[in-house]
Amino acid sequence: MTTYTLHLPRDARPGDPMPLDEAELVEDSFSWGAFFFTFLWFFVHRLWLAGLGVLALLVAFNALLNLLNVEPTAAFVAQLLLQVLIGLEASSLRRWTLARHGRPAVDAVAAADRDEAEVKAFARWLARNPAQAPSPAPAPAPVLPTRRTEPVIGLFPDAEPYR
């Protein structure tokens, strides 16, 4: 099962079906497209700043490898590891960009595929009433120590179980 996050406009109200036209589901998994195509994957998904950042990172990384005269095999392994990192972080950068553009994550669902995730996320969104919108949980009451009624004998009164 894969986790998907639902991104809607910031002013969307729970239970309202209109914002679902602009909904975007982001899969929280390794991105093979970002692994193989690096910055081009970001540009295809309209993630301009992240794509430019990845492009700058790749250019600087290759320049550093050339400057340090790294052996070709080691440079290939280092480049491969950098691409693995890009594939792992692509979904997070996509969520970050959506949140920056006023479309924060409003829900997360686990599903076997994208269609099932869409059905689950949309059903949960439509089932919410504005009164049921998530609100901050109240702070738990502090736990105060209880006072013993029996006398304490010795330095370690809790060493033996109570009778």
pLDDT of residue 128: 81
pLDDT of residue 152: 60
Strand ranges in 9-148 using DSSP code E only, listed in sequence order: 24-28, 105-111
pLDDT of residue 148: 57
- Report whether 53 contacts 101 (CB < 8 A): no
pLDDT of residue 19: 87
Query: At residue 23, what is the residue type?
Result: A
pLDDT of residue 153: 62
Torsion on CA atoms 38, 117, 112, 3, rounded to nearest 10:
60
Per run of 10 residues, the mean pLDDT along the chain (length 163 residues) is 92 88 91 94 92 96 95 96 96 92 92 93 85 56 60 59 54
pLDDT of residue 136: 55
How many other β-carbons are positioned within 10 Å of the β-carbon of residue 15?
14
